Structure 1
Amino acid sequence: MFRHMLGKTLGLFGYTIQYGCIAHCAFEYIGEFVVCSGPSMEPTIVNHDVVFSERMSRHLFKIEKGDIVIAKSPFDPQMNICKRVIGLEGDKICTSSPSDLFKTHTYVPMGHVWLEGDNLRNSTDSRNYGPIPYALIRGRVCWKLWPLHSFGTMSETPMKRIIKAQRDSDSD
């Protein structure tokens, strides 16, 4: 009787470990569901929206300007941030406000990205903490899942303020 119970317990423990490993790999390498909070990405993403963040783009270095990403906060590694990629390594970013007389620019260093919230008046982003290392990016937001009336792929930046560089083949 004891051997039978021990065998069942160890079998259940083994299945729990296996399924736990599968779940860990799925969330680490495929994607995760994220409940967003805060006003920095309004109107694109509002408080309590649920999004799906895929991880493959990050691993394949396929993050592009205009993508919305989930990243570790440079201030608090326990907290994640949701921001839009405005600049990639080597890009020149205007860091002054439109009303400033003199424009200041920052070049995004190698291995870094420039992130900003869509709600520029209420967002703590790269304008405050500078470019962030690419390694802090956890994933690219590709779907809004909740609320159901806004289910679908993520829209373009509301102010259309991202200028994508022409490819060499386009300029010929």
Structure 2
Amino acid sequence: MRLLNYLGQWRSVAKEAKDLTVTVAKFMGLLHVTDAYLCSSTLVYGPSMLPTLNISGDVLLSEHVSHRFGKVGAGDLVLVRSPNDPRKIVTKRILGMEGDQVTFFVDPKHSDRSQTTVVPKGHVWIQGDNIYSSFDSRTYGAVPYGLIQGKVFCRVWPPDGFGSLD
């Protein structure tokens, strides 16, 4: 009789563990889908987006829907997979869409020489707001639209900078 009682307790514990595991797995799946396809937070730091973003780091919220439907355009702040290092995500501003003519300073630190180019089909022209310290389309050219990972819509940290980045 004791053995049956003991086995019954273990079955109860096993069922509870299985139910908890299924609940955690569902939650983790929902978390993954939300982070990858809907909305995520990103820590951004460095000088390339000064004065819009802080050099010491900002936490931004980005949504991952607009770019899938072609709803990003010139002026938008976007997260882009770096063409030079696919492990990195960079934050830049779109200055030109496919077909747009873009004029930019080639090396603003050392000369006033500018160049004009037309953004090819399926590409965007991205630049940092700090043209003196940004590695962007001026260096590696127009970026394929498919490298856009998300559109930034809000700064959540630091608290004094909280709000929309439109």
Query: How does the TM-score come out when normalised to structure 2?
Result: 0.87
Shift of the alpha carbon at 1:91? 0.8
Aligned position for 2:134 = 123
Q: Percent identity?
A: 37
Query: Is 1:132–2:140 an aligned residue pair?
Result: no
- String of CA shifts for 1:103-125, please: whole Å, max 9, x gaps: 43221111111100000000000
Which segments of structure 1 move beyond 6 Å, counting only runs of 4 or more?
Answer: none
Shift of the alpha carbon at 1:95? 3.7
**What are the within-5 Å matches in structure 2 for residues 2-151 of structure 1?**
2-46=10-54, 47-97=56-106, 99-100=112-113, 103-151=114-162
Which amino acid is the alignment partner of residue 72 of structure 1? R
The number of residues matched between the two structures is: 153
Q: CA RMSD in A?
A: 1.4
**What are the within-5 Å matches in structure 2 for residues 160-171 of structure 1?**
none
Shift of the alpha carbon at 1:133? 0.9
Structure 2 unpaired stretches of 5+? 1-8
Q: Partner of 2:99: helix, strand, or coil?
A: coil
- String of CA shifts for 1:88-139, please: whole Å, max 9, x gaps: 0111112444712xx4322111111110000000000011111111111111
Which amino acid is the alignment partner of residue 139 of structure 2? N
Query: How does the TM-score come out when normalised to structure 1?
Result: 0.84
User: Which one has a bigger Cα radius of gyration?
Assistant: 2
More helix by share: 2
